[in-house]
Amino acid sequence: MLFQKRRRQIVLMVFRDRVLSLEIGGTPREIDISAFGESAPQAPIVEDGRVNHKALKEAVNASLSSLRSKASTADIALGNDLVFAETLPIDDTLSHQALKAHLDWELNHYVDRPENHIVNTAILRRSADGEQKTMLVVAIPKSWIEALRDVLHGLHLSLDAVDTDHFGAEYFFRAAVSVPLHRPVIALAGVGSSRIDFSLLRNGRTETYSRRAIRDGASSHDIASDINAMVSALGEDVPSLVLHGEGTTPELLEALRAGWGGSAQALDPLRYITAPGHVAHLIQGHPATTGGIGLGLRSLDSRR
């Protein structure tokens, strides 16, 4: 009989003021979360666009101390509002070199010194005439990657992948959630501490992306109104809205349902994967874990 080796992966979810960690593992047929940790350092981890290396190290070490994991690699899910992400209309006839130059020019309008960023892109859709495409562009400062890699190196861990909480949640949705045939269109909203990231998924594929800042002092009703406006901007009927992220609260869901014509719910990873009772109890209190779990699933999936 051929036995499948159970792989383990650490995932860290890094926000401005805290770090969450979990160990995810299993086989392609059986995924589980075996441990969970959390730590909030005394100083902010990210402030004025810069990483506080001491605070990051303190939070990561404390968060991982409760895992007692033997995994050798880790994924990082960064809070959405820490990372630049935008969709840009791009001439689909550009050569590779011309496209790179154009993206550098575009990024100069959004981030300081694009050459000091790791830039990832994805094509969301193309025009019917084949002359234009809508491209998702994500930029993460190289200094942040270096700081994360340095902290992990001190713990004998190698950095496997870095992404945002929202795009990790997108992958979780595609990999773990069965989309009903009668509801192939889903709006996915990631509510962070200061930003809403919003995607339209059609048959599990991301078709549009947008973001909106959450103003200081915004109430649950204010945030619900912002999400409703993002849905309305799509110009089509969206029957299902799914929320995730650290800003997803019962009050926000209640406010959304009060003014929403369709279904609105929080994305609960424990409906689709297993965890020990004490770990499940902790995760249920942290809607921000979905994106990290999604990145862990992606890593496990890539090693099949």
- The alpha carbon of residue 50 and the mean position of all alpha carbons in its chain are separated, in whole angstroms, by 20
Helix axes 250-258, 220-232, angle to 10 degrees: 50
What are the boundaries of each domain within the chain? 7-81+142-170+270-302, 83-139, 179-266
Write phi, then psi, for 111 (nearest 5 degrees): -125, 155
CATH number given to 83-139: 3.30.1490
One digit per residue, the tens of pLDDT, for the chain of length 304 reads 333 455 789 999 999 999 999 999 876 567 788 889 999 999 999 988 889 999 999 999 999 998 888 889 999 999 998 999 999 999 999 999 999 999 999 999 999 999 999 999 999 999 988 889 999 999 999 999 999 999 999 999 999 999 999 999 999 888 877 665 556 888 999 999 999 999 999 888 899 999 999 999 999 999 999 999 999 999 888 888 999 999 999 999 999 988 776 788 898 888 888 888 888 888 876 778 999 999 998 888 776 6
CATH architecture of 179-266: 2-Layer Sandwich (3.30)
> Could you give the CA distance from residue 15 to residue 153 in angstroms, rounded to a whole number?
20
Domains 83-139 and 179-266 share a fold: no
CATH architecture of 7-81+142-170+270-302: 2-Layer Sandwich (3.30)
